[in-house]
Structure 1
Amino acid sequence: MDPLTLGGFVALATILVLFSGVSVAIGLLIVSAGFLIIFDGMRSLELMPEILFGKLDNFALLSIPMFIIMGSSIASTRAGADLYEALERWLTRVPGGLVISNLGACALFSAMSGSSPATCAAIGKMGIPEMRKRGYPDGIAAGSIAAGGTLGILIPPSVTMIVYGIATETSIGRLFLAGVIPGLLLVALFMGWSLYATWKSGNTAVLSARDYSWRERLEILPRVIPFILIIIGVLYAMYGGIATPSETAAVGALLCIVIAMVIYRLWSPKALWVVLRDSTRESVMILFIIAAAGVFSYMLSSLFITQSIAEWIGTLDANRWVIMFAINIFLLVAGFFLPPVAVILMAAPILLPIITTAGFDPIWFAVILTINMEIGLISPPVGLNLYVINGIAPDISLRTILTGSLPFVACMILAIILLCVFPGLATWLPDTVMGPAF
């Protein structure tokens, strides 16, 4: 059978299996095993255990559970509430300052925790009721938190970027740096829209805002600054050549646990057990998907599907931006139904040779891919962040939350367009700090 036709059957089978309700990892293993048995015989199954465990034999993978522990320890404390309150005290007299402080808190907390749902829950529990109390429209209040929560998979340190780096064998340090400016760009676009929407709604909440004294503004900072210093320290150690990403992640995780115990009195063995238990569950889930995706990639390569797709793309007489547009549509649709990690691990073996053949930078493409995944987090039918917001504010209808999120989706699409026009937004910082990639 022609490899391209076979690739179509693999794609159809994968979609059907994943829509059946099985987990992503199990689904990938089922599809891989099925096609290997059909076209290579039963002997091909002998290699599956070796490939499955061999994919996990990577020192860089140690950074994933460490960063997850780092985020879980932060998410289990009042760090999110304190971060929100600190920004609210400093921006309370700025028109639209409350929604800006919420977005700023989302950006910082998501960078510290790396979890979109945790960011939505931590900031939204305080931010949404406060915004509604001051007269902000429900759509702006809910949409800003839902969109702000997505920033965690782009702003470093990002587990999603680590997974992409492992899947494509690109530098994790470069990927982290590539996400900084686009992440700040998204924050600026979100804030700009929020200010405009607040002004357009005729909101006068600033007039009723409380005026905090300088003492009140300063007294909250000691509870927030240590976590921010840890993030800065982790990134400095990584880019200063002091330690590898895995080593810095381990130190960061330990320091976050210590600070959670010292500042937030997280002494209870039960509370610490919850942090470690939840971190272990999430880590195992991600690592299992990575291992299963390794088998899936082997199947695609063994049946010459990946190579044939790359060769076919190379023979197309099409503008490379038309190809990139088609890839973005594919990623957007995939992100509607699957979590970011699953999309990256499934699509990377196919997309990497396509984008390199078309002359695109894999580091730049990582940012484009991640923003597409961010859109999926606030878009139906899955749209995890939408349901998290609905859970913490059940009196706001899901339709209102979705409507409030759509302008932020437009901001993300605008960011993708700007990155296509000005690719240096993603590549300038890693090239400046780490030197040009060859």
Structure 2
Amino acid sequence: MDPLLLGALVAAATILVLFSGVSVALGLLIVSAAFLMIFDGARSLELMPEIFFGKLDNFALLSIPMFIIMGAAISSTRAGADLYEALERWLTRVPGGLVMSNLGACALFAAMSGSSPATCAAIGKMGIPEMRKRGYPDGVAAGSIAAGGTLGILIPPSVTMIVYGIATETSIGRLFLAGVVPGLLLVALFMAWSLYSTWASGDAARLAPRSYSWAERFEILPRVLPFVAIIMGVLYAMYGGVATPSETAAVGALLCLLIAIVIYRMWDPRAIWAVLRDSTRESVMILFIIAAAGVFSYMLSALFITQSIAQWIGTLEVNRWVLMGAVNLFLLVAGFFLPPVAVILMAAPILLPIITTAGFDPIWFAVVLTINMEIGLISPPVGLNLYVINGIAPDISLRTILVGSLPYVGCMVLAIILLCLFPGLATWLPDAVMGPAQ
């Protein structure tokens, strides 16, 4: 059978299996086993266990559970509430300052936890009730937190970037650095929109700010700065040549646990056990998907699907930006239905040869891909962040949350356009710190 037609059959079968409700990892294994047995013979199935476990034989994978523990330790404390309160005290006099405080807290908490749902839950529990109490519309209160939470998969350390690095054999250190400037750009765009919308609606005069003394503003900083110092220390150790990403993740996880115990008095062994238990569950889920995606990639390669698609794309007489537009559309639609990790692991084997053949930088593409995944987190039907916010404030309808987050989707689309116009936004910092890519 023609490999391109076979690829279309694989895509259709994969979509049907995943929509049936089975887990992503199990669905990928089912599709891989079925197509290998039908088109390559039953003996090809003998390699599946070796490929499955071989994909996990990678020291870089150790950083995933470590960063997840780091985020879970932070999420289990009042760190999110303290971040929100600290920024609220310092930005209270700025028009729309409360929304900007929430977005700033989301950015900082995202950098510490690396998890979008955790960021939404931690900041939303404090920020949404406070904004509603001050008179902000429900859509603004919920939408800004839902959008701010998406920063967790872009601003380093990001588990999504680690997965992309492993799937494409790209430097994780470079990927982390590539997410810094675009992450700050998104925060700036989110805040600029919040400032403009508050001014344009006339809410700035109506929403009376609270008054804080300088003593109250400085009083809360000692509870926040240790976590910020850990993030800075992790990044310095990684890029200063002190340790590998896996080693810095392990030290960061230990320090976050110690701070949670010492500063936030998490003495109860059951609370520590809950952090380790939940981290283990999430880590196993991600590692299971990574291993299954390795088998899926092997199936695509063994049946010459990946090679044929890359060769076909190379023969197309189309502008490379038209091609990139089609890739973005595919990623956007895929992000509507699947979690970011699944999209990356399934699409990377096919998309990487395409984008490199077209002359695009894989580091730059990682940032564009991640922002597309961010849009998926606040878009139905899956839109995980929408449901997290709805769980925090069940009296706010999903429609209201969605409408409130749409302007921030526009900010993300603008960020993608700016990255296409100025790719150095993603590639300048990695090249400046680690030297030009070979």
User: TM-score range, shorter-chain basis?
Assistant: over 0.9
Q: Secondary structure at the match of 2:250?
A: helix
CA distance in 1, matches of 2:178, 2:18: 31
Q: Is the 1:134–1:205 Cα contact (8 Å) retained in structure 2? A: no
The corresponding residue for 1:211 is 211
CA distance in 2, matches of 1:233, 1:221: 18
The answer to whether residue 180 in structure 2 is matched with residue 200 in structure 1 is no
The corresponding residue for 1:82 is 82
Letter in 1 for 2:296: F
Give the total of aligned pairs.
438
CA distance in 2, matches of 1:107, 1:78: 16
Q: Secondary structure at the match of 2:56?
A: coil
Deviation at 1:139, TM superposition (A): 1.1
TM-score w.r.t. the length of structure 2 is 0.99
CA distance in 1, matches of 2:126, 2:303: 52
The corresponding residue for 2:171 is 171
Once the two structures are overlaid, the 10-residue window that deviates more, 201-210 or 331-340, is: 201-210
Q: Is the 1:93–1:206 Cα contact (8 Å) retained in structure 2? A: no
Deviation at 1:379, TM superposition (A): 0.2
Unaligned runs of 5+ in 1: none
Query: What do residues 46-104 of structure 1 show as CA deviations (whole Å, max 9, x unaligned)?
Result: 10000000000000000000000000000000000000000001111111111100000
The corresponding residue for 2:52 is 52
Residues 310 and 202 of structure 1: CA distance in aligned 2, closer, same or farther (over 3 Å): same
Q: Secondary structure at the match of 1:241?
A: coil
The corresponding residue for 1:24 is 24
The corresponding residue for 1:296 is 296
Q: Secondary structure at the match of 1:254?
A: helix
The answer to whether residue 259 in structure 2 is matched with residue 274 in structure 1 is no
Residues 165 and 225 of structure 1: CA distance in aligned 2, closer, same or farther (over 3 Å): same
Deviation at 1:203, TM superposition (A): 1.0
Q: Is the 1:96–1:206 Cα contact (8 Å) retained in structure 2? A: no
CA distance in 2, matches of 1:3, 1:122: 47
The corresponding residue for 1:376 is 376
Unaligned runs of 5+ in 2: none
Query: What do residues 21-48 of structure 1 show as CA deviations (whole Å, max 9, x unaligned)?
Result: 0000000000000000001111111100
Q: Is the 2:134–2:207 Cα contact (8 Å) retained in structure 1? A: no
The corresponding residue for 1:420 is 420
CA distance in 1, matches of 2:208, 2:58: 55
Q: Is the 1:146–1:389 Cα contact (8 Å) retained in structure 2? A: yes
Deviation at 1:204, TM superposition (A): 3.6
Query: What do residues 81-131 of structure 1 show as CA deviations (whole Å, max 9, x unaligned)?
Result: 000000001111111111100000000001101111111111111111111
Letter in 2 for 1:58: N
TM-score w.r.t. the length of structure 1 is 0.99
Deviation at 1:208, TM superposition (A): 2.5
The corresponding residue for 2:283 is 283
Deviation at 1:210, TM superposition (A): 1.7
Q: Secondary structure at the match of 1:208?
A: coil
* Percent of residue pairs bearing the same amino acid type: 87
The corresponding residue for 2:132 is 132
Q: Counterparts of 1:314-329 in structure 2 under 5 Å?
A: 314-329=314-329
Q: Counterparts of 1:25-424 in structure 2 under 5 Å?
A: 25-204=25-204, 208-424=208-424
CA distance in 1, matches of 2:228, 2:202: 35
Deviation at 1:207, TM superposition (A): 5.8
Please, what is the CA RMSD of the aligned residues? 0.8
The answer to whether residue 435 in structure 2 is matched with residue 435 in structure 1 is yes
CA distance in 1, matches of 2:207, 2:13: 58
Deviation at 1:137, TM superposition (A): 1.4
Deviation at 1:396, TM superposition (A): 1.2
